[in-house]
Chains A and B, each alone.
Chain A
Amino acid sequence: MNARFSPGDRVRVREWYPPGHVRTPYYVRGKRGEIERVCGTFNNPERLAYGRADDPKMLYRVRFTQDEVWGRSERPGDTIDIEIYEHWLEPEV
Chain B
Amino acid sequence: MSDDHDHPHHPEHHLASTYHEKLTAAVIELLAEKRVLSPAQITESIDIMDARGPSLGAKVVARAWVDPEFKKRLLADGSKACKELGIDVGSLKLVVVENTPQAHNVIVCTLCSCYPKMLLGIPPAWYKTKAYRSRTAREPRKVLREFGLEVDDKVAVRVHDSTADMRYLVLPMRPAATEGWSEEKLAELVTRDAMIGVAQANEPIAV
Contact = CB atoms under 8 A, between A and B. Distances in A.
12 contacts: A39-B164, A39-B165, A61-B166, A70-B138, A74-B139, A74-B140, A78-B140, A78-B158, A79-B157, A81-B160, A83-B162, A84-B164
Interface of A: 23-25, 27, 39-40, 42, 45, 59, 61, 66, 69-70, 74-75, 77-85
B141 interface: yes
Contacts, number: 66
Contact of A23 (B138, B160, B164): B164
Given A70-B138, A74-B141, A75-B141, A24 B163 contact: yes
Interface residues of B, number: 22
A79 B165 contact: no
Interface string B74-101: 0000000000000000000101000000
Contacts of B149: none
B156 A78 contact: yes
Given A39-B166, A75-B156, A78-B156, 4 more contacts: A74-B142, A77-B156, A79-B159, A82-B163
Contacts of A40: 93
Interface string B102-116: 000000001100000
**5 smallest A-B Cβ distances: which pairs?**
A83-B164, A80-B159, A74-B141, A78-B157, A42-B165
